[in-house]
Amino acid sequence: MSLAEKLDALREAGAKRIPPDKRAIMSRATQDLRESGILDNVAKVGDPFPAFALNNARGAEVRSSDLLAKGPLVLSVFRGSW
């Protein structure tokens, strides 16, 4: 399954799981962000990303340079709670 297919499946699952009133709020907030121009300043796929160091879930520091030395790096950010 391609990444696009996986993302489509996630969107479909969310549309079934999230109540319509909550989806409307999320959609409105997303549209407000797009209209704010914020997307003009975000990193695009393939853009070089600045080096960083963050603590992992166990509190140990993880450096992007160490991870990149092992191969390509994908960074995902998750909210702490919903």
For residue 51, give its domain range: 3-68
Instruction: Count the domains in the chain.
Output: 1
First to last CA, the chain: 28
Distance CA 28, CA 80 (A): 22
Instruction: Give a yes or no: residue 57 inside a domain.
Output: yes
Distance CA 82, CA 79 (A): 7
Q: Is the dihedral of CA 15, 17, 19, 22 positive or negative?
A: negative
The alpha helices in the chain, defined as continuous H runs, are 3-17, 20-36, 64-68
**Model's pTM, two decimal places?**
0.48
Grade residue 80 by pLDDT with cuts at 50, 70 and 90. low
- 19-74 pLDDT, tens digit per residue, is 999 999 999 999 999 999 998 988 888 888 889 999 988 999 999 999 999 998 88
- 28-39 pLDDT, tens digit per residue, is 999 999 999 998
Q: Find the helix or strand (DSSP H, E) in which 81 lies.
A: none
